[in-house]
Amino acid sequence: MNKILVLRLGHRIERDKRVSTHVGLVARAFNADGIIYSGEFDNNLINSIKKVIEKWGGPFLVSYTPDWKREIKNLRDKGFVIIHLTMYGINLPDVIDSIKSEFFDKKKNLVVVVGSEKVPRDLYEIADYNVAIGNQPHSEIAALAVFLDWLFEGKELLKTFNNAKIRIIPSARGKKVVVKNSKSSNT
Ligand code: SAM
């Protein structure tokens, strides 16, 4: 089965703590297979995603690269298609069919790159697709969520994880959760 990795560039320990964590959580919840962080190495960030995987299930890869350019080149050599999310790119509705064809028909792996503060110029050249989620500035979390949602056409919202210790039973009111090896609880 072909895969989708997210590459999060330029993590800054102090400023990006929550945003980088949320990029990882969205990647996992919206059906990507893993996240690679670049920028400042941050053990707390990696551990916080791993704790979610331990409790809510996987598999989901979490790793760090000190050299984003080398990482992208390695992935490209392995056949990954490089998709850079940027407000300067071609708008999503105009390019989603080509990307769907790469993923679903040609069975190519994708790497979806999101930036933080300043994205290096080279990336625009290296990318196979520079994709805008609207041509207005907003957020890497939102951009990633919308991209994955368009790719999977909402089916990612029904994703389940087999090895989860905890699972939510959707309910109209209240909170219903099942904890592995225990009965369901209502709170
Ligand atoms: N000013 C930065 C630059 O020069 O690229 C962008 C900073 S923005 C807060 C962080 C990241 O969010 C971007 O690198 C991009 O991946 C994503 N992003 C923000 N708005 C976007 C949009 N309209 N379309 C696609 N991605 C977007």
| Domains delineated in the chain | 4-159 (3.40.1280.10)
What is the pLDDT, as a whole number, of residue 76? Answer: 97
User: Which helix or strand (DSSP H or E) is residue 140 part of?
Assistant: helix 140-152
The backbone torsions φ and ψ at residue 130, rounded to the nearest 5 degrees and listed phi first, read -100, 115
Distance from residue 143's CA to the centre of ligand 1 (Å): 8
Is it the case that residue 186 has pLDDT exceeding 70?
Answer: no
Looking from the CA of residue 135, the nearest atom of ligand 1 is: 23
Name the DSSP letter for residue 153: T
What is the pLDDT, as a whole number, of residue 107? Answer: 98
Q: Ligand 1: which of 12, 119, 136 to mutate, judged by most atoms within 8 Å of the beta carbon? A: 119
Cis, peptide link before residue 59, omega less than 30° from 0: yes
Average pLDDT rounded to a whole number, residues 119-130: 96
Q: Within 10 Å of residue 110's Cβ, how many Cβ atoms?
A: 23
Confidence bin at 182 (pLDDT 50/70/90) = low
**β partners of residue 130:** 84
Distance from residue 85's CA to the centre of ligand 1 (Å): 7
Rounded Cα gap, residues 53 and 42, in angstroms: 17
Task: Specify the residue with its C-alpha closest to ligand 1, atom 16.
Answer: 114
